[in-house]
Amino acid sequence: MFGSAHHRSKSASAPGRHDDSDRFLLLSTGLREPTPAKPPSAASWYQGAGARALLGPAADARVRRPDPQRPSVCASTGFIERAGSKIQDAEKALEVSRLDVTISNSIESMEFSAKATFLLLHKSHPKKHNFADEEVAPLLRRVPQPAKLYNFPRLFVLNKFWQIFYTPAKYGIPEWDLSARALFNRKEAELAIAHAREWNTAIIILRNVS
């Protein structure tokens, strides 16, 4: 019984000795142990396999890393980053129940995303908060097929809808003696963030496939 136990312990330690000798051989020959491969970063996943996963039925379409040297991509990146930052600000405001601030930040995020769409598809954007239907129409005809899955006509309607609430969410309604804080409830604030996130996802995909 003791002999078999001793045999088992020797067998169990064998792999460790082999590992040590392998390391010694590598060191003596000037070689290094191979470094384990790192998992892909979130950014690379989003631009590559993640983008393909999000595209669903359009997975066979061209999906590539955006070229930062292209003027339209370079110009739109600042707007896309600011859109994401405004969503983060809206989420922080929601945590402390500043619903008016949540809504105004969400609206600003949607506007940045909409202007990034102009930059990617039209090379310039209107210097105003609201966009005329005649200005948006040419963009919708230029949306690449893979990005059409995200329904840009609907997103522009959402932007137009929320712009109505921007001034009340920012300044209240003085004529009614109402502050912005008194005008909105939590569900409305959560809806504004949800729509801003939809815009943010769509514009990132549009940049990747344009």
Rounded distance between C-alpha atoms, residue 164 and residue 169, angstroms: 9
CB 23 within 8 A of CB 30: no
What is the per-residue pLDDT for 69?
45
| pLDDT at 168 (0 to 100) | 97
128-169 pLDDT, tens per residue? 667 888 889 999 999 999 999 999 999 999 999 999 999 999
Secondary-structure class of domain 68-209 per CATH: mainly alpha
What mean pLDDT is reported for the chain? Answer: 76
Report how far apart, in Å, the C-alpha atoms of 65 and of each of 47, 76, 79, 204, 208 are: 6, 14, 18, 11, 6
Tens-digit pLDDT profile for residues 28-61: 445 444 444 444 433 343 444 444 444 444 433 3
Mean pLDDT of 178-185: 96
Q: Is the pLDDT of residue 7 over 80?
A: no
Write down the pLDDT at residue 123: 66
- Cα angle vertex 99, ends 42, 94, to 5°? 35
Residues 186 and 97 sit within 8 Å (Cβ to Cβ): yes
Task: For 201-210, write each residue's pLDDT tens digit.
Answer: 999 999 988 7
Write phi, then psi, for 31 (nearest 5 degrees).
Answer: -100, 160
Scan for tokens 């595209």, then name that residue.
55
The pLDDT of residue 77: 86
Residue 116 has pLDDT above 70, yes or no: yes
User: Of the candidates 113, 193, 194, which has an alpha carbon nearest to the alpha carbon of residue 152?
Assistant: 113
Q: What is the pLDDT of residue 158?
A: 96
| Residues 76/125, Cβ–Cβ less than 8 Å | no
